[in-house]
Amino acid sequence: MRIVSGIQPTGNLHLGNYLGAIRNWVAMQEDAAATGGQCLYFLADLHAISMPHVPADLAANTREMVAALVACGIDPDRSVLFNQAQVPQHSEMQWLLNGTARMGWLNRMTQWKDKAGKNREGQSVALFTYPVLQAADVLIYQATHVPVGEDQKQHLELARDIAQKFNNDFCPEDAPLFTLPDPFIPPEAARIMSLRDGSSKMSKSDPSDMSRINMTDDADTIMQKIKKAKTDPEPLPGDKAGLEGRPEAANLVGIYAVMAGVSVDNVLAQFGGEGFGKFKPALGELLVEKLAPINTRFLELREDREALDAILRKGAEKARALAIPTLEKTYDALGLVRG
């Protein structure tokens, strides 16, 4: 098993980021250790330049995200942790795959359509070819499994199409070059919603800081935010069906369930019939207990730029060594002379 996944470097990390991709990456790292697999995790900084951006923010966010990943449990000695920009083989591979990807395929990508909106002509070329770089990211390592959110499934299917077409067009039938990667969408990829509005996602861009638990929040702040979280006046139901039409209650119970590592029905078996006056302090304490060590490590590491850069440098070195053999075979298959 070779697991490869990327995450765009964003700042102001919160509970939604942790319970989304990051926690799942840590779990896969532990599984890989048990089964002899290997994990490669990277910051998709090259993808980040497909949209207007502030260079100083990109650099700061890249380092901040590394601090968060390590604080949450990604171990740079066991997983290969790096940023794309230090592994130029990704960009080279993208160019080689640009010869295989079709305009029509990219035109059908829903992320492209959503992000470009009505102004396709005004978008960067990078936004359009973004999925080809993503294909290069995974194909260059012969990834077998790619953990992603539901929204990235289509990009993964595109990576498979590119791999398949390349194998068909340029490889002998009995010696395909690229492994077709399987998307892996974690079943309990809970959608964490705003603490102020159970129908919108927890987000770093929500103007209200009370809507989210930040990775930088201390214990008092976490307790405060949970106590002030929006709810309804009803007591908690006894089972999952009873959460229907109660988005705020469902969100808080969902957060409890993932943090405690139990099912929603399990949580409701314990708290069904109780009011929020009892449930909220329990949730707050659970969050504090689980997040405090992460918070401490994160704040410490974030200030240690040298350590962060050393982690990325070492990770990139390992990644380059893993990337080069497939890249060389790709040049070769295409008839590009590398003397």
Nearest to 109 by CA among 93, 132, 90: 132
Query: Which of residues 134 and 167 has its CB atom nearest to ligand TRP in the complex?
Result: 134
**Least Cβ distance, residue 8 to ligand TRP (angstroms):** 5
**Least Cβ distance, residue 174 to ligand TRP (angstroms):** 28
Residue whose structure tokens are 């070059």? 177
Within 234-304, residue ranges assigned H as helices are 247-260, 264-271, 276-302
**Whether 204 is catalytic:** yes
Query: Which of residues 151 and 239 has its CB atom nearest to ligand TRP in the complex?
Result: 151
Query: Which of residues 134 and 194 has its CB atom nearest to ligand TRP in the complex?
Result: 134
DSSP designation for 223: H
Residue 21's CB is within 10 A of a number of other CB atoms, namely 23
Question: 204, 230, 318, 329: which one is catalytic?
Answer: 204
Query: Which of residues 137 and 248 has its CB atom nearest to ligand TRP in the complex?
Result: 137
**Whether 201 is catalytic:** yes
**Whether 290 is catalytic:** no
> Given the rule CB under 6 A, which residues bind ligand TRP?
4-8, 44, 47, 134, 137-138, 146, 148, 152
Most distant CA pair in the chain: distance in Å?
Answer: 74
Pairing outcome for strands 80-83 and 182-184: unpaired
**Least Cβ distance, residue 140 to ligand TRP (angstroms):** 10
- For the chain, how big is the Rg over CA atoms in Å? 22
**Least Cβ distance, residue 183 to ligand TRP (angstroms):** 9
Question: 165, 201, 280, 314: which one is catalytic?
Answer: 201
Residues with Cβ within 8 Å of 209's Cβ and at least 6 positions away in sequence, in order, are none
Using CB atoms, what's the residue nearest to ligand TRP? 6
Please, which residues bridge with residue 183 across strands?
A: 146
Residues marked as catalytic: 115, 201, 204
